[in-house]
A and B are shown apart, each in its own frame.
Chain A
Amino acid sequence: MDLKDFSKNLRRIDFILIMVLILILTIGFLMVKSATNTINGGLETSKQIRWILIGIPILILFSLVDYHRLKNYSVFLYLVNLGFLISVYIFGQSALGAQRRIPLGSFVFQPSEFAKIILIITLAAFLSERKGKITKISDVLLAGLHIAVPWILIFHQPDLGTAMVLIAILFGMLLVAGTESKYLIGLIFIGIIGIVLIFNFNVLKDYQMKRLLVFVNPDMDPLGAGYNLLQSKIAIGSGRFWGKGLFSGTQSRLNFIPEHHTDFIFSVLGEELGFAGAFSLVVLYFVLITRGLRIGSLSKDIFGTLIAAGIVSMLLFQIFVNIGMTVGLMPITGIPLPFVSYGGSSMFANMMGIGLLLNVYMRRFK
């Protein structure tokens, strides 16, 4: 990568995507500030700034290194990924009954967040060999196996949210990779059976089970497990059209919304910025995803398309499940809202994702 190359690439950057990202990050930062200014005197706010500032070079790094090179290291990346996920079980620190994180100084490393990005790369490498058409069942099964090993490690932590994201990534990438419809329908069918089995064999922890049941019947336990959902809906609903104003949400300020700077950050936004603010953020995400899909479409090779498809699947699924859970469309699972929820690991992973998208976009003419 010489300097000429660099300046040429820079001119080919997707500025709309960058602008949208900056806007989303700004909204996210303001929401984290609003959600935390009453609790720890803004400790999270300064940390979030740090995550964004560290995230930018990570994004640039992931956009500069030619993504084609990654293909050659895919076996190595896959093994490193498994190594990280296993290390959680050795050095892991448990939070809320789940073993997910490894503390590294002030930063708490969460390998499952990065596992998503690495798996998108390795799976894209694997599927791109099939030249855009997957007709053999063995290929589908191999792709499934590719995801299955890290999936089990993540699910067992337990990190139900990320495990679900992995399945969304697998499905999105298989779709774009040209898998025959019958296999995709079969996959959906297997997914449904899987959910039924999970319910029947007590694979889930108690709290996970409760959250899912409450989703089916929110009035089951309004002061217990249904409390989070109810308070979140009250927060968002009470924002009405224009919101209560930034930093003026009573539901978040008075701690009625749980986890309001992480998983339920959208509730804070809905309350303080109203439908107008929520609509704006959703539209920004829409543009972000649209740009991602466009990059997939413009990619000069199937490997780039599949990477874009994976990133887009990951982001879309996370956005939908996170917002969906705050408005009662989805059960409560610990999935952060990309670029908005407080947290280092997810910020870095999502930055990597955008970096890869830019990477693919910049090299579309080569």
Chain B
Amino acid sequence: MKPIETTQKRLAFFTIFMVIVFSIILVRLWFLQVIEGETYAKIAEENRIRLVAIPALRGVIYDRNKNILVDNKASLAVSFTPGKKRGDIEVINRLSQILGMSVSEIEAKINENKSDPLAPKIIKSNLDEKTVAFIKEHQIDLPGVNIETESVRDYPNGITAAQILGYLGEISESELKEREYSSYVLGDIIGKTGIEKQYESFLAGEKGGQQLEVDASGSPIRILSNKDPVPGHSVMLTIDKSIQQAAEQALIDAINVSHKQKYPKAQAGAAVVLDVRNGEVIALASYPTYDPTYFSGGRISFAKWQSLNSKSSNYPLRNRATMSSYPPGSTFKPIVGLGALAEGITTPTKGYLCTGRWYGLGQKWAKNCWKKGGHGKLNFNRGVIVSCDTVFYEIAYRVQKKGGEKLQLWARNFGLGSETGVDLPFEVSGRVPDKAWKKEWNKNNPRNQAWVPGDTVNMAIGQGDLLVTPLQLTNAYAAIANGGTLFKPKIAKNVLSFEGQVSYQFKPEEIKKLPLNSATLKVMQDDLEKVTKEGTATNAFVDFPIPVAGKTGTAQVKGKDDFAWFVGYAPANKPEYAVLVMVEQGGHGASVAAPAVRQIIGTIYNVDIAKLKAPSFVDFSR
């Protein structure tokens, strides 16, 4: 029996329905493939191609004798490549157990680099062999997890020169906006402080890159294109490793001496050694210091970072020789003296009378010399040698009367109040106070805006508002030593190619010639030499075979114990090195800082300090 008419009608209806169904499919395909095809093609390319940066090997940092200060070493790290579809959470949970990190810590690492959310992220560096073996054995249960070899900084001398060398860290959002980092991307590791930062452009090298084809799980399938990284240049410093270590040790010893002399608050200090002939920085020590391996690989734990920046740690990351400024105390007197000689305010043999109390500004404003009872009758030379305050009060009084802010002029002549320009980041300029400064400084305190004679008098003995960095002061003394040339201190000696050839040589740079004739300088040089023979530093240098010229300083800081200073140069007759030691709240310059300087000079000239007579201190002079 043939199907009846209804059936045919129904089949026709079915046909129409089918035509509609196929039309819908074709319209949809046209829309996806022809109208939006370009868009989807682009997404498909983004799906499969990943750009992977290949880090360049960072340059080595050497000391002046080509001893390695910072090198690279291979370190095993575990990385994780977030997948598009697999169970990342399970893998993260497993990783958390293996690495002993919390899940949130791992997730934070994964989300750190926002520029490429699917790129491999380093979860933990410096893995031990056991962990590496475990991960390799359980690779199947850990999709996306890889063991990677990364190059991290290695410090063969431990903490030596930590603040000079600086540390590495991930580039910050604000740094990314700076022009010098225009070729960097988020997640890059850069030098954050010290030489690592200063010479980043030499040390960093050029990143290479690979264009990889990856599958859905993010695993690379093949390399589409490749660009090899260019290793960074090495930097040779002017630092002498053994002198640097001696300076660091001398600081520690000086602080111990302070403690013995009942100055328990002594906990920090700085030491500087400059070559007076060219401004090269031979040593630059700051205490307390830190272990640079905390930053190895450019990653430091948050807890460690906090502890290094807490008040209780006394800020070990800060290089106190260039990043902190202090009142110089009596070490400023030679600068005042030279200025006074040059300005004709005094002569080497001009006589003064010190009664221990000075009334130049009137009875009401009487000032004391550090020596109770006074020095009696003495001339200018003697005033420098025994560091008589009264002599310098008198000089300041004359300077004040003459007007023209001559004290400030001479402080600035010696480079105080402005950065030395040393090739280290974050140098501070210190402060040379003057009328304009005082007015601005006290703008909310109208009664204290005027510069008064007492300010000049205070300044003449290195007190009041004058602040200098240890490096500035050493550099000023280097200029006295070398006959009047103020150099720009330099810490980089040259740049070496990866193969070790010198590709750039830094030259000594003169900031200026001091406006002083050699006769005037000779007066001060002789006085400074006598400081260690018959003056305030006699005890510290007793029997010392190298003639040393220098000056002690004991600076008063409100609310704190005195800061101990000694700055000088050696050999006094043919100066080569200027050396400074400063101990915060260390007490007396003569008994704390001067022996530390002796220790450093002893190392430079191979003097066996142990065989010398131990200095005895009865005279706690400034």
Chain A residues at the B interface, C-beta cutoff of 8 Å: 131-133, 172, 175-178, 223-224, 227, 231, 233-241, 250-251, 254-256, 258, 270-271, 274-275, 278-279, 282, 285-286, 289-290, 293, 296-297, 299-302, 305, 309, 312, 316, 320, 323-324, 327-329
Contact = CB atoms under 8 A, between A and B. Distances in A.
B450 to A, nearest CB: 71
B7 interface: yes
Interface stretch (B184-192, B214-222, B333-341, B356-364): B214-222
B8 interface: yes
B11 A329 contact: no
Contacts of A237: 32-33, 36-37, 39-41, 43-44
A236 B25 contact: no
Interface string B13-28: 1110010011011101
A235 B44 contact: yes
B114 interface: no
A278 B26 CA distance: 8
B217 A255 contact: yes
Nearest to B221: A254
A131 B28 CA distance: 40
Given A224-B85, A282-B22, A290-B18, 15 more contacts: A132-B6, A176-B11, A234-B44, A236-B33, A236-B40, A238-B37, A240-B41, A250-B48, A255-B217, A258-B85, A275-B37, A300-B2, A312-B18, A327-B28, A327-B29
B140 interface: no
Given A240-B38, A241-B34, A223 B84 contact: yes
Contacts of B217: 255
14 contacts: A133-B6, A172-B14, A177-B10, A178-B6, A227-B85, A233-B40, A236-B29, A237-B33, A237-B36, A239-B37, A251-B44, A254-B48, A274-B33, A305-B11
Interface string B46-65: 01100000000000000000
Contacts of A320: 21, 25
A282 B26 contact: yes
B142 to A, nearest CB: 18
B14 A278 contact: no
A282 B33 contact: no
A278 B6 CA distance: 35
A151 B153 CA distance: 68
A320 to B, nearest CB: 5
Contacts of A172: 14
Contacts of B6: 132-133, 178
Given A178-B7, A178-B10, A309-B11, A324 B36 contact: no
Interface residues of B, number: 43
B344 interface: no
B215 A254 contact: yes
Interface centre among B4, B8, B40 (most CB of A within 10 A): B40
Interface centre among A132, A274, A329 (most CB of B within 10 A): A132
A271 B29 CA distance: 11
Contacts of A131: 1, 4
B47 A275 contact: no
B21 A176 contact: no
A131 B1 CA distance: 9
A297 B44 CA distance: 46
A302 B1 contact: yes
B3 interface: yes
A251 B216 CA distance: 8
Contact of B29 (A279, A299, A316): A279
A175 B14 contact: yes
Secondary structure call for the B interface: helix
B224 to A, nearest CB: 12
Nearest to B84: A223
B95 to A, nearest CB: 19
A135 B217 CA distance: 58
A223 B117 CA distance: 13
B60 to A, nearest CB: 41
Contacts of A234: 40, 43-44, 47
A293 B15 contact: yes
A296 B34 contact: no
Interface centre among B3, B18, B39, B84 (most CB of A within 10 A): B3
A316 B18 contact: yes
B222 to A, nearest CB: 10
B11 A296 contact: yes
A9 to B, nearest CB: 19
A251 B26 CA distance: 21
A132 B40 CA distance: 49
B7 A233 contact: no
Contacts of B26: 279, 282
A172 B6 CA distance: 14
Contacts of B506: none
B455 interface: no
A254 B84 CA distance: 12
Nearest to B30: A275
B213 interface: yes
B7 to A, nearest CB: 5
Contacts of B21: 316, 320
Given A223-B84, A235-B44, A285 B22 contact: yes
B350 to A, nearest CB: 87
Interface in B278-305: none
Given A178-B10, A289-B18, A293-B14, A240 B34 contact: yes
A223 B85 contact: yes
A301 B10 CA distance: 15
Interface centre among B4, B44, B45 (most CB of A within 10 A): B44
A275 B31 CA distance: 10
A244 to B, nearest CB: 9
B40 A238 contact: yes
Contacts of A290: 15, 18
Interface string B194-217: 000000000000000000011111
A254 B216 contact: yes
Nearest to B6: A178
Nearest to B33: A275
A250 B21 CA distance: 29
Contacts of B24: 329
A286 B44 contact: no
Contacts of B18: 286, 289-290, 293, 312, 316
B1 A301 contact: yes
Given A236-B32, A270-B33, A300-B2, A176 B7 contact: yes
